[in-house]
Amino acid sequence: MPCNLERIRHLVLDMDGTIYSGSTLFACTLPFLQVINELGIGHTFITNNSSRGIQDYVDKLRGLGIATSRDEVYTSTDAVIEYLRAHLPQVRTLWLLGTPSMARQLEEAGFVVGNGDPEAVVVGYDTGLNYENLCRTAWWISRGLPFLASHPDRVCPTDQPTVLVDCGALSACLTAATGRSPTVLGKPDPRMLDGVCRRHGLRPDELAVVGDRLYTDMAMAHRAGAASVLVLTGEATAEEAEAVEPPPDLVVPDIGFLGKLLRASRCEKEVE
Protein backbone atom coordinates (compact mmCIF):
# COMPACT_ATOMS: atom_id res chain seq x y z
CA MET A 1 0.00 0.00 0.00
CA PRO A 2 1.53 3.36 -0.99
CA CYS A 3 2.33 5.74 1.85
CA ASN A 4 0.04 8.78 1.96
CA LEU A 5 2.53 11.35 3.22
CA GLU A 6 0.00 14.19 3.10
CA ARG A 7 -1.86 12.89 6.15
CA ILE A 8 1.25 12.38 8.32
CA ARG A 9 1.27 14.79 11.27
CA HIS A 10 3.91 13.15 13.44
CA LEU A 11 7.03 11.03 12.90
CA VAL A 12 8.14 8.35 15.36
CA LEU A 13 11.89 8.19 14.82
CA ASP A 14 14.08 5.28 15.78
CA MET A 15 17.51 6.53 16.83
CA ASP A 16 20.51 4.26 16.24
CA GLY A 17 20.64 3.36 12.56
CA THR A 18 18.11 6.05 11.64
CA ILE A 19 19.32 9.44 12.87
CA TYR A 20 22.80 8.37 13.96
CA SER A 21 25.13 5.39 14.01
CA GLY A 22 26.69 4.80 17.41
CA SER A 23 28.06 8.23 18.31
CA THR A 24 28.07 9.63 14.76
CA LEU A 25 25.20 11.79 13.56
CA PHE A 26 24.19 11.24 9.94
CA ALA A 27 24.90 14.30 7.78
CA CYS A 28 21.25 14.46 6.67
CA THR A 29 19.76 14.44 10.20
CA LEU A 30 19.86 18.12 11.16
CA PRO A 31 18.61 19.33 7.74
CA PHE A 32 15.82 16.73 7.94
CA LEU A 33 14.73 17.92 11.39
CA GLN A 34 14.70 21.48 10.10
CA VAL A 35 12.51 20.46 7.16
CA ILE A 36 9.87 18.72 9.28
CA ASN A 37 9.88 21.63 11.72
CA GLU A 38 9.22 24.05 8.85
CA LEU A 39 6.41 21.78 7.63
CA GLY A 40 4.81 21.65 11.08
CA ILE A 41 5.31 17.91 11.42
CA GLY A 42 6.01 16.78 14.99
CA HIS A 43 8.42 14.05 16.01
CA THR A 44 9.24 11.67 18.84
CA PHE A 45 12.53 9.81 19.24
CA ILE A 46 11.82 6.22 20.28
CA THR A 47 13.95 3.33 21.52
CA ASN A 48 13.67 -0.11 23.07
CA ASN A 49 16.89 0.30 25.04
CA SER A 50 15.83 0.59 28.68
CA SER A 51 19.37 0.70 30.09
CA ARG A 52 19.30 4.50 29.81
CA GLY A 53 16.75 6.88 31.25
CA ILE A 54 14.97 9.67 29.39
CA GLN A 55 17.45 12.33 30.51
CA ASP A 56 20.35 10.18 29.31
CA TYR A 57 18.89 10.16 25.80
CA VAL A 58 18.11 13.87 25.92
CA ASP A 59 21.74 14.54 26.90
CA LYS A 60 23.05 12.29 24.12
CA LEU A 61 20.89 13.93 21.47
CA ARG A 62 21.88 17.40 22.65
CA GLY A 63 25.52 16.30 22.60
CA LEU A 64 25.06 15.39 18.94
CA GLY A 65 23.67 18.85 18.21
CA ILE A 66 19.95 18.01 18.32
CA ALA A 67 17.94 20.41 20.45
CA THR A 68 15.34 18.24 22.16
CA SER A 69 13.30 17.85 25.34
CA ARG A 70 12.07 14.99 27.51
CA ASP A 71 8.62 15.17 25.85
CA GLU A 72 10.25 14.31 22.51
CA VAL A 73 11.76 11.01 23.72
CA TYR A 74 9.85 7.79 24.41
CA THR A 75 11.51 4.60 25.65
CA SER A 76 10.37 1.10 26.52
CA THR A 77 10.51 2.17 30.18
CA ASP A 78 7.78 4.70 29.37
CA ALA A 79 5.78 1.80 27.92
CA VAL A 80 6.24 -0.11 31.21
CA ILE A 81 5.03 2.92 33.18
CA GLU A 82 1.99 3.35 30.92
CA TYR A 83 1.15 -0.36 31.22
CA LEU A 84 1.43 -0.35 35.02
CA ARG A 85 -0.82 2.71 35.33
CA ALA A 86 -3.43 1.33 32.94
CA HIS A 87 -3.50 -2.36 33.90
CA LEU A 88 -2.01 -2.60 37.40
CA PRO A 89 -3.04 0.70 39.04
CA GLN A 90 -2.73 -0.77 42.51
CA VAL A 91 0.99 -1.52 42.07
CA ARG A 92 3.42 0.94 43.64
CA THR A 93 6.42 -1.18 44.73
CA LEU A 94 8.57 -2.85 42.09
CA TRP A 95 11.38 -5.37 42.01
CA LEU A 96 13.61 -4.29 39.12
CA LEU A 97 16.29 -6.17 37.23
CA GLY A 98 17.67 -3.13 35.46
CA THR A 99 20.09 -0.23 35.58
CA PRO A 100 20.14 2.69 38.05
CA SER A 101 19.00 4.94 35.18
CA MET A 102 15.93 2.79 34.62
CA ALA A 103 15.24 2.76 38.35
CA ARG A 104 15.40 6.57 38.47
CA GLN A 105 12.88 6.89 35.65
CA LEU A 106 10.47 4.52 37.40
CA GLU A 107 10.90 6.39 40.69
CA GLU A 108 10.30 9.74 38.98
CA ALA A 109 7.01 8.25 37.76
CA GLY A 110 5.99 7.57 41.38
CA PHE A 111 7.01 3.94 41.85
CA VAL A 112 9.13 2.57 44.69
CA VAL A 113 12.05 0.43 43.51
CA GLY A 114 13.92 -1.57 46.09
CA ASN A 115 14.37 -4.59 48.30
CA GLY A 116 11.09 -4.44 50.18
CA ASP A 117 7.96 -6.47 49.51
CA PRO A 118 7.33 -5.85 45.78
CA GLU A 119 3.98 -6.01 44.03
CA ALA A 120 5.36 -6.59 40.51
CA VAL A 121 8.61 -7.57 38.78
CA VAL A 122 10.11 -5.52 35.94
CA VAL A 123 13.00 -6.77 33.82
CA GLY A 124 14.97 -4.41 31.57
CA TYR A 125 18.31 -4.33 29.81
CA ASP A 126 20.55 -4.69 32.87
CA THR A 127 24.08 -3.82 31.76
CA GLY A 128 25.38 -4.32 35.31
CA LEU A 129 23.82 -7.75 35.79
CA ASN A 130 24.43 -9.29 39.19
CA TYR A 131 23.87 -13.04 39.68
CA GLU A 132 22.33 -12.62 43.13
CA ASN A 133 19.82 -10.10 41.72
CA LEU A 134 19.01 -12.45 38.86
CA CYS A 135 18.24 -15.25 41.30
CA ARG A 136 16.20 -12.95 43.52
CA THR A 137 14.23 -11.84 40.46
CA ALA A 138 13.45 -15.47 39.68
CA TRP A 139 12.28 -15.92 43.27
CA TRP A 140 9.76 -13.07 43.09
CA ILE A 141 8.52 -14.27 39.70
CA SER A 142 8.07 -17.78 41.13
CA ARG A 143 5.86 -16.26 43.84
CA GLY A 144 3.32 -15.29 41.18
CA LEU A 145 3.94 -11.54 40.98
CA PRO A 146 3.09 -9.76 37.71
CA PHE A 147 6.14 -10.15 35.45
CA LEU A 148 6.89 -7.42 32.89
CA ALA A 149 9.74 -7.17 30.37
CA SER A 150 10.53 -3.76 28.92
CA HIS A 151 11.27 -5.10 25.41
CA PRO A 152 11.92 -8.35 23.51
CA ASP A 153 15.42 -7.72 22.08
CA ARG A 154 17.65 -10.70 22.85
CA VAL A 155 20.90 -8.91 22.05
CA CYS A 156 21.94 -5.28 21.71
CA PRO A 157 23.84 -4.45 18.50
CA THR A 158 27.57 -3.77 18.85
CA ASP A 159 30.66 -3.56 16.66
CA GLN A 160 32.81 -4.98 19.46
CA PRO A 161 33.95 -8.64 19.77
CA THR A 162 31.25 -9.56 22.27
CA VAL A 163 27.55 -10.41 22.55
CA LEU A 164 25.54 -7.89 24.55
CA VAL A 165 22.86 -9.97 26.30
CA ASP A 166 19.68 -7.90 26.26
CA CYS A 167 16.29 -7.95 27.98
CA GLY A 168 14.75 -10.69 25.84
CA ALA A 169 17.53 -13.13 26.67
CA LEU A 170 17.38 -12.28 30.39
CA SER A 171 13.62 -12.83 30.31
CA ALA A 172 14.09 -16.19 28.55
CA CYS A 173 16.50 -17.23 31.31
CA LEU A 174 13.95 -16.28 33.97
CA THR A 175 11.17 -18.08 32.10
CA ALA A 176 13.31 -21.22 31.96
CA ALA A 177 13.96 -20.97 35.70
CA THR A 178 10.38 -20.24 36.78
CA GLY A 179 8.10 -21.58 34.04
CA ARG A 180 6.46 -18.13 33.72
CA SER A 181 6.56 -15.84 30.70
CA PRO A 182 6.47 -12.05 30.97
CA THR A 183 4.17 -9.48 29.48
CA VAL A 184 6.55 -8.04 26.88
CA LEU A 185 6.36 -4.36 26.01
CA GLY A 186 8.48 -2.22 23.68
CA LYS A 187 8.77 -2.54 19.91
CA PRO A 188 7.12 -4.29 18.05
CA ASP A 189 4.21 -4.21 20.53
CA PRO A 190 1.75 -1.61 19.16
CA ARG A 191 1.14 -0.34 22.70
CA MET A 192 4.53 1.37 22.34
CA LEU A 193 2.74 3.94 20.16
CA ASP A 194 -0.23 4.42 22.46
CA GLY A 195 1.70 6.76 24.74
CA VAL A 196 2.91 8.83 21.78
CA CYS A 197 -0.67 9.16 20.50
CA ARG A 198 -2.00 10.16 23.93
CA ARG A 199 0.81 12.63 24.49
CA HIS A 200 0.11 14.48 21.24
CA GLY A 201 -3.60 13.84 20.72
CA LEU A 202 -3.08 11.80 17.56
CA ARG A 203 -4.49 8.72 15.88
CA PRO A 204 -2.15 5.92 14.70
CA ASP A 205 -3.01 6.65 11.05
CA GLU A 206 -1.56 10.15 11.51
CA LEU A 207 1.83 8.68 12.46
CA ALA A 208 4.71 7.36 10.42
CA VAL A 209 7.23 5.10 12.12
CA VAL A 210 10.71 5.64 10.66
CA GLY A 211 13.36 3.04 11.43
CA ASP A 212 15.95 0.60 10.14
CA ARG A 213 14.60 -2.71 11.48
CA LEU A 214 11.88 -4.77 9.85
CA TYR A 215 10.97 -6.94 12.84
CA THR A 216 10.64 -4.09 15.37
CA ASP A 217 10.04 -0.68 13.79
CA MET A 218 8.15 -1.81 10.69
CA ALA A 219 6.28 -4.60 12.48
CA MET A 220 5.13 -2.17 15.19
CA ALA A 221 3.86 0.31 12.62
CA HIS A 222 1.91 -2.42 10.79
CA ARG A 223 0.34 -3.75 13.99
CA ALA A 224 -0.65 -0.28 15.18
CA GLY A 225 -2.09 0.92 11.86
CA ALA A 226 0.60 3.58 11.36
CA ALA A 227 2.60 4.20 8.17
CA SER A 228 5.96 2.40 8.02
CA VAL A 229 9.06 4.01 6.53
CA LEU A 230 12.23 1.91 6.30
CA VAL A 231 15.58 3.69 6.03
CA LEU A 232 18.56 1.82 4.59
CA THR A 233 21.15 3.44 6.89
CA GLY A 234 21.02 0.69 9.51
CA GLU A 235 20.26 -3.01 9.72
CA ALA A 236 17.79 -3.92 6.99
CA THR A 237 18.63 -4.08 3.28
CA ALA A 238 16.48 -3.30 0.25
CA GLU A 239 16.44 -7.00 -0.63
CA GLU A 240 15.14 -7.93 2.83
CA ALA A 241 12.48 -5.24 2.57
CA GLU A 242 11.25 -6.72 -0.72
CA ALA A 243 11.06 -10.21 0.78
CA VAL A 244 9.21 -9.41 4.01
CA GLU A 245 5.41 -9.67 4.29
CA PRO A 246 3.84 -7.21 4.68
CA PRO A 247 6.44 -4.89 3.13
CA PRO A 248 7.14 -1.39 4.49
CA ASP A 249 4.88 1.30 3.06
CA LEU A 250 7.94 3.24 1.95
CA VAL A 251 11.65 2.45 1.61
CA VAL A 252 14.13 5.35 1.42
CA PRO A 253 17.93 5.49 1.39
CA ASP A 254 17.98 7.85 4.41
CA ILE A 255 15.84 10.34 6.33
CA GLY A 256 17.12 13.16 4.14
CA PHE A 257 15.28 11.60 1.20
CA LEU A 258 12.16 11.25 3.35
CA GLY A 259 12.37 14.97 4.12
CA LYS A 260 12.36 15.76 0.39
CA LEU A 261 9.30 13.55 -0.13
CA LEU A 262 7.45 15.18 2.76
CA ARG A 263 8.19 18.66 1.42
CA ALA A 264 7.06 17.63 -2.07
CA SER A 265 3.81 16.16 -0.68
CA ARG A 266 3.00 19.46 1.02
CA CYS A 267 3.82 21.47 -2.08
CA GLU A 268 1.55 19.28 -4.21
CA LYS A 269 -1.28 19.74 -1.73
CA GLU A 270 -0.88 23.54 -1.87
CA VAL A 271 -1.01 23.48 -5.69
CA GLU A 272 -4.22 21.47 -5.64
Q: Span 83-112, mean pLDDT?
A: 96
Q: HSE on the CB side for 226, CA within 13 Å? A: 33
- The reported pTM is 0.91
CA dihedral angle for residue 189, residue 195, residue 201, residue 203, rounded to 10 degrees? 0
Q: Do domains 5-48+188-271 and 83-184 have the same CATH topology?
A: yes
Contacts of 269 (CB under 8 A, 6+ apart): 6
Sign of CA dihedral 54, 55, 60, 66: positive
Question: Taking the domain 83-184, which CATH number applies?
Answer: 3.40.50.1000
Crossing angle of helices 100-108 and 76-87, in 10° steps, is 40
Q: Residue 17: left (phi > 0), alpha (psi -120 to 50), or beta?
A: left
Please tell me what DSSP assigns to residue 16.
B
Round the average pLDDT of the chain to a whole number and report it: 93
Examine the pLDDT at 36 and tell me if it is beyond 90. Answer: yes
pLDDT tens digit sequence for 132-173? 999 999 999 999 999 999 999 998 877 789 999 999 999 999
Using alpha carbons, select from 210, 147, 133 the residue that is nearest to residue 175.
147
Examine the pLDDT at 271 and tell me if it is beyond 50. Answer: no
Number of neighbours of residue 6 by Cβ within 10 angstroms:
11
Using alpha carbons, select from 258, 185, 245, 196 the residue that is nearest to residue 218.
245
Q: In the chain, what are the domain boundaries?
A: 5-48+188-271, 83-184
pLDDT tens digit sequence for 195-204? 899 999 999 9
pLDDT of the residue at 156: 86
Given a contact cutoff of 8 angstroms between Cβ atoms, the answer to whether 229 and 250 are in contact is yes
The CATH number of 5-48+188-271, from 3.40.190.10, 3.40.50.11030, 3.50.50.60, 3.40.50.1000, is 3.40.50.1000
